Amino acid sequence: MNEQQTKIRAMLADRKGILLVHYYARPEIQEIADVLGDSLALAQAAARSDARVIVFAGVHFMAQSAAMLSPEKTVLLPRLDAGCPLADMASPDAVRKMKQAQPDAVFVTYINSTAEVKAECDICCTSSNVIKIIETLPPSKKVVVLPDGNLARHAASVTGRDIAAWEGCCPIHQALTAEDVTARRREHPRALFAAHPECRPETLAVADFVGSTSAILRFAHETKATEIIIGTEKGILTQLAKENPEKTFIPASGALFCADMKKISLDDIERSLATLQPVVTVPRDVSEAAKKALDKMLALS
């Protein structure tokens, strides 16, 4: 650890705090995480933690979820402008309208959504558990999955369920094309291709494996292949290389970079711990409804 990383760890100890870090965050922050994980693992960690302060190195919807799951704790997001363009593609008003149009449908919201949208929905999911969550719903029920249309279509193809897709997308994963994968395969003919379900259907169609970040980590560990093309945000490459030093991981495209996930720096975390700002809170009326959707997901995970 460098001097600043050591200082931050000491500040966390003084504040009785923990640092929750997403796999897409900067490598120097991943190195000092208390919990490094995907959205599901981080939500679970926030719910069970007995820390007084949670510092989130991720994006806004993740800190909101932590604040709802642990209302008695101070939840810090060192950069409030670290948002998620996908989460911003569904508004509570638009969800309410769709609910009026489909009053019998079950509304499943990806955790990559605002607290206000979660409050309108029946249950949350992450890319790790979307299939499991949908399989618990009565087969006769129509299902709406939002805000990621690609995740919804992937879930429909795996479960065979009638799923209506909201037409939102993660711009980072959406930009990855099947042609990009073909070009990487030409350069690395023995490599397998692992993709995140936020990618386009035609990109997923050429994948050897489709799964969440934690599922991709498991796949990379278990496969006999020694070269793997990675179809998700490049931050995951740090953990992949750490866990599998003998294997080669190739980004499927140079564009798999989420600027929001990289906004928070060590300086931001140090400042945030010194000032205990900025705090993320969710209004109680929103939180009560949204937490029900989160709790239902966690109970099934």
Q: Residue numbers of the site for ligand SF4 (CB under 6 A)?
A: 59, 84-86, 112, 170-172, 233, 258, 260-261
Q: What does the buried/exposed string (b/e) look like for 254-281 if buried means 16 or more CB atoms within 10 Å of the residue's CB?
A: eebebebbbbbbbebbbebbeeeebebe
Nearer to ligand SF4, 236 or 297 (CB): 236
CA 86 to chain CA centroid, nearest Å = 11
| Least distance between ligand SF4 and beta carbon 258 (Å) | 3
| Least distance between ligand SF4 and beta carbon 175 (Å) | 10
| Least distance between ligand SF4 and beta carbon 171 (Å) | 6
Nearer to ligand SF4, 12 or 261 (CB): 261
Nearer to ligand SF4, 41 or 261 (CB): 261
Nearer to ligand SF4, 172 or 191 (CB): 172
Other C-beta atoms lying within 10 Å of the C-beta of residue 101: 10
| Least distance between ligand SF4 and beta carbon 113 (Å) | 10
| Least distance between ligand SF4 and beta carbon 285 (Å) | 26
| Least distance between ligand SF4 and beta carbon 14 (Å) | 30
| Least distance between ligand SF4 and beta carbon 121 (Å) | 17
Nearer to ligand SF4, 82 or 297 (CB): 82
Q: Please check whether residue 178 is in contact with residue 204, taking contact to mean a CB–CB distance below 8 angstroms.
A: no
Burial of 151 (0-12, 13-18, 19+ CB in 10 A): buried
Nearer to ligand SF4, 213 or 272 (CB): 213
Nearer to ligand SF4, 11 or 129 (CB): 129
